[in-house]
Structure 1
């Protein structure tokens, strides 16, 4: 079974030439949206994906504006509204050491350096300077852990285990 990862959601059209507004869910916009790149569109009412080839990309305010070779004009672009753009697992890029995709981190168990289990990562927030990992604790309490070298000491994706150093005041 193929695994798909969200890249963005088409929320509206832009202009009359078939451009669409996309709210991106990727850190790799330049790579994902470069002309010639293939994205697969999944509509809410259809489980089958439709492959689209990026024709152009530009930024406008907080949106990415895209055109596709297969979509000509505003009427065709209108039909894409509400669709989710995805990439196949095979299209994921290799990352540098100590870089991870969100889907690799979410679900990992988090332990202190003393071996105490704090819980499981349920969500990752990106508020600014560094990501913040949201851990669902044992008492259903959320724990927020900044992804910085002083706190996160070891990430073992294969074992789904993360070791952190609890700085004073973190809990």
Structure 2
């Protein structure tokens, strides 16, 4: 029986080349100061594609990375948009009320009474806090990822208990 495939997490994307020596500019999807500390970057199959040796802050929240691979500027530029993965086990343990987005995606969502509301499709952050995109029987809807709106997350059971707000600002009809 083959070993189970190791879970990979997208940690960054190649944003382009930086300079003329084959350095890469990365767009991190987490703590920019830690993005290169989890080991080599893998593709979605788990094969090593880039190995960072040095990193420094770049413009607009990017990270400039010196690579072990001896790539040209053109080779790095050709990788623009490539998603960079690391093994989930390489990420640090989180506190009890902290979660990786990748751990939330796919969780079943129930209300306080245990009725199924849908599944978490993605986690979005438009600047005002995290929103859970939930696909349910009535379509797609968003839930603020706050302690009030999502009071209980049980990763082992694969569910999130939701307490959606009664009225979401902007949904009220005039005259009501």
**TM-score, L = length of structure 1:** 0.82
The Cα of 1:72 is off from its aligned counterpart by 5.8
* Root-mean-square deviation over aligned CA pairs: 2.5
Partner deviation per Cα, 1:141-171 (whole Å, 9 max, x = no partner): 1111001122111111111111122322148
Structure 2 match to 1:95: 94
Partner deviation per Cα, 1:57-88 (whole Å, 9 max, x = no partner): 22212432211233365355446445332211
CA contact (8 A) 1:71 1:77 kept: no
**CA spacing shift, 1:19–1:53, aligned 2, 3 Å:** closer
What secondary structure sits across from 1:38 in the alignment? coil
**TM-score, L = length of structure 2:** 0.80
The Cα of 1:16 is off from its aligned counterpart by 1.1
Structure 1 match to 2:33: 30
CA contact (8 A) 1:39 1:85 kept: no
Structure 2 matches for 1:8-19, cutoff 5 A? 8-19=12-23
Please tell me whether residue 120 in structure 1 is matched to residue 123 in structure 2.
Answer: no
May I ask how many residue pairs the two structures share in their alignment?
165
Unpaired runs of 5+ residues, structure 1, are: none
What secondary structure sits across from 1:32 in the alignment? coil
Structure 2 match to 1:136: 135
**CA spacing shift, 1:149–1:73, aligned 2, 3 Å:** same
Higher strand fraction (1 or 2)? 1
The Cα of 1:47 is off from its aligned counterpart by 7.0
Unpaired runs of 5+ residues, structure 2, are: 172-176
